[in-house]
Chains A and B, each alone.
Chain A
Amino acid sequence: MADTSQNAAQPEDTSRRDFLNIAATATTAVGGACFAWPLIDSMNPSADVLALASTEVNIDGIEEGQAITLKWRGKPVFIRHRTAAEIEEAEAVDVATLIDPQTDAERVQKPKWLVMIGVCTHLGCVPLGQKDGEPKGDFGGWFCPCHGSHYDTSGRIRKGPAPINLVVPEYSFTSDSVIKVG
């Protein structure tokens, strides 16, 4: 019993105790982090959510000047059959004057078909302008009613709080009349 009293503590004992302290603390920290990550990652998109990652749409019935909205990953996707005037307007813009500079050609695969995620890049509202009679903003494209962002006929941000252009998703033409989004 005398050995365990404080007086009997030798320098070797102290360093052993320090080692135990450091080792236990380090193990706890690493173990805690290892345990925390699965809990955090479980909140990320699950396998079944990721599985719904692509969708196909037939664009035969969309007349020039018309647009459709489809749902992809829970978000609206705008597909617009642009008129010649709209394409011309989009291409004529001086890129240097834009908030998020991008040419029209960088945003489309075929100039007639503009495919974009219909979510305002400011805070996620769906901009108006898909249907006839809806406001299209000052630049003839889309207008977000939440905080007043104006997009042009190429879906580029021209005025308002949104920081970047409407996002173009990954998509491909599987044939002349079918678009696969995702």
Chain B
Amino acid sequence: MSGAPAPEFKNPVVRWIDVRLPVFTYIHNEYTGFPVPKNLNYFWSFGGMAMIALIGMIVSGIILAMQYTPHVDYAFESVERIMRDVNYGWLIRYIHMNGASMFFIVVYIHIFRGMYFGSYKQPREIIWILGVIIFLLMMGTAFMGYVLPWGQMSFWGATVITNLFSAIPVVGDFIVTLLWGGFSVDNPTLNRFFALHYLLPFVILGLVILHIIAMHIAGSNNPDGIDPKGPQDTVMFHPYMTAKDLTAIVVFVLAWAFFVFYAPNYMGHPDNYIPANPLSTPAHIVPEWYFLPFYAILRAFTEDSFLYIPISWLMDAKLAGVLAMFASIALLAVLPWLDTSKVRSCRYRPVYKWLVIVFTIDVLFLGYLGGKPAEGWYVTASYWATFWYFLHLLVLTPVVGWFERPKPLPASISKPVLDAAE
């Protein structure tokens, strides 16, 4: 996309640097003078919010790492020391703890935005795939971070999740022992999780930069899902989007602050304030809320589940559950090819629009079920909700793309606005 004309820098120092290392030209072309469609709504601010969440997590995390001790005998106490003795330690830890949840909330909305408005479609497939990889790394990072305080939920969450890998035929047990560095979740496990929890956010940051670079090649998608026809359809990123995104970010940070100051443990689990005990599993273990939909899919594959019976000759129920859980995320990466419709935005897709909404409700419902014990109607409901999840991605998405008659697309981004004004 062609931006504003090449910048002339007045400041001689800036000019001197820019000739040797063109960072100022880059910033100008990619931000100050970067054209974006002028019909973007607030859904397009969630990427910026996620960026703020990532930076907030890295900054608060580095400070926490200065006070934390990754050893089974001291980890729990060092976290309590942060809470009680370290100056503002309670604040920094609550920012970090709730920051994980806030990061996932905005990323989930960001993903929904991509699905509803077709941002994953040609030519933006790689942006979308990078996003799915970022999402996977976020899950890994959040999981390992949750282990660090070494409470009961930390320990048993780590035990259950690492045991998922034991479902892999032949090499499963070898992999689990390798992950643990022993015969159970223990000190070596805690040590390596700490090392990786510190590393992965920087890997995420690198991928986010690639995600943005790729986005700047194709330019932003927009609620109409049609390409800008010229300068009359776009505005400059700065000051229009910087002002708008900052407004959204202020609201986001206020929501984050609300949890930090008024409900710091609302999204946590009280059992994690009990030190880890390898000999006693808590009566009801649940993952953090942002994992619950995938946890429900994992649990939907039991011996007597109608999802499992057709494949029971092939593998045991445990492996089927683990594969289904990973597939539920891996399938998102190929969504650009599962969706056969050429029309991007659901505004012009009368059938698929409702399917995306039902899919979103289905994922929320799976999240609800994942937090409930595996008994009674919850079990049956999670079979059907899991069934719908895969039906949507594997059958409905391709088939609807073939048969749906989309509404006529507007001639340009400006057209609907101008028509409404007349």
Residue A17 at the chain B interface, CB threshold 8 Å? no
Task: Please measure, in the bound complex, the distance between the C-alpha atom of A46 and the C-alpha atom of B183, giving whole angstroms.
Answer: 11
Q: Are B375 and A148 in contact (CB under 8 A)?
A: yes
Residue A140 at the chain B interface, CB threshold 8 Å? no
Task: Please measure, in the bound complex, the distance between the C-alpha atom of A124 and the C-alpha atom of B177, giving whole angstroms.
Answer: 13
Using Cβ atoms and an 8 Å threshold, which residues of chain A touch B396?
none
How many whole Å from A41's CB to the nearest CB in chain B?
A: 9
Please provide the chain A residues from 67 to 123 with a CB less than 8 Å away from any CB of chain B in the complex: 69, 71, 73-76, 99, 119, 122-123
Sort chain A's interface into a size bin: 20 to 34
Please provide the chain B residues from 177 to 199 with a CB less than 8 Å away from any CB of chain A in the complex: 177-186, 188, 192
Q: Are A123 and B302 in contact (CB under 8 A)?
A: no
Using Cβ atoms and an 8 Å threshold, which residues of chain B touch A119?
184
Task: Please measure, in the bound complex, the distance between the C-alpha atom of A161 and the C-alpha atom of B321, giving whole angstroms.
Answer: 10
User: Could you mark each residue 125-152 of chain A with 1 if its beta carbon is under 8 Å from any beta carbon of chain B, else 0?
Assistant: 1100000000000000000111110000
List the B residue with the shortest CB-CB distance to A53: B183
Task: Please measure, in the bound complex, the distance between the C-alpha atom of A148 and the C-alpha atom of B374, giving whole angstroms.
Answer: 7
Q: Are A45 and B182 in contact (CB under 8 A)?
A: yes
Give the segment of B42-50, B244-252, B277-285 that binds chain A.
B277-285
Q: Are A44 and B183 in contact (CB under 8 A)?
A: no
Q: Are A69 and B164 in contact (CB under 8 A)?
A: no
Q: Are A49 and B188 in contact (CB under 8 A)?
A: yes
Task: Please measure, in the bound complex, the distance between the C-alpha atom of A71 and the C-alpha atom of B188, giving whole angstroms.
Answer: 17
Residue B316 at the chain A interface, CB threshold 8 Å? yes
Task: Please measure, in the bound complex, the distance between the C-alpha atom of A163 and the C-alpha atom of B278, giving whole angstroms.
Answer: 22
Task: Please measure, in the bound complex, the distance between the C-alpha atom of A36 and the C-alpha atom of B406, giving whole angstroms.
Answer: 53
Please provide the chain B residues from 293 to 313 with a CB less than 8 Å away from any CB of chain A in the complex: 299, 301-303
Using Cβ atoms and an 8 Å threshold, which residues of chain A touch B302?
160-161
Q: Are A40 and B178 in contact (CB under 8 A)?
A: yes
Q: Are B285 and A44 in contact (CB under 8 A)?
A: no
Residue B318 at the chain A interface, CB threshold 8 Å? yes
How many whole Å from B388's CB to the nearest CB in chain A?
A: 21
List the A residue with the shortest CB-CB distance to B318: A163
How many whole Å from A118's CB to the nearest CB in chain B?
A: 8
Of A49, A74, A146, A159, the contact of B281 (CB 8 Å cutoff) = A146
Residue B76 at the chain A interface, CB threshold 8 Å? no
Given contacts A40-B178, A147-B299, contact A71 B278 (CB under 8 A): yes
Residue A43 at the chain B interface, CB threshold 8 Å? yes
Q: Are B318 and A73 in contact (CB under 8 A)?
A: no
Using Cβ atoms and an 8 Å threshold, which residues of chain A touch B188?
43, 45-46, 49
List the A residue with the shortest CB-CB distance to B164: A123
Residue B317 at the chain A interface, CB threshold 8 Å? yes
How many whole Å from B407's CB to the nearest CB in chain A?
A: 46
Give the segment of B155-163, B263-271, B347-355 that binds chain A.
B155-163
How many whole Å from B170's CB to the nearest CB in chain A?
A: 14
Using Cβ atoms and an 8 Å threshold, which residues of chain A touch B283?
145
Using Cβ atoms and an 8 Å threshold, which residues of chain A touch B280?
126
Using Cβ atoms and an 8 Å threshold, which residues of chain A touch B182?
45, 49, 73-74
Q: Are B375 and A74 in contact (CB under 8 A)?
A: no
User: Could you mark each residue 49-65 of chain A with 1 if its beta carbon is under 8 Å from any beta carbon of chain B, else 0?
Assistant: 10000000000000000
List the A residue with the shortest CB-CB distance to B186: A74
Task: Please measure, in the bound complex, the distance between the C-alpha atom of A162 and the C-alpha atom of B280, giving whole angstroms.
Answer: 18
Q: Are A49 and B159 in contact (CB under 8 A)?
A: no
Further contacts, 6 of them, CB under 8 A, given A75-B184, A145-B281, A159-B303: A73-B182, A74-B183, A74-B186, A75-B278, A148-B375, A161-B302
Closest 7 CB pairs of A and B: A74-B184, A73-B183, A124-B163, A125-B281, A123-B163, A123-B160, A124-B159
**Interchain residue pairs with CB less than 8 A apart (5):** A49-B182, A49-B186, A123-B159, A124-B163, A160-B302
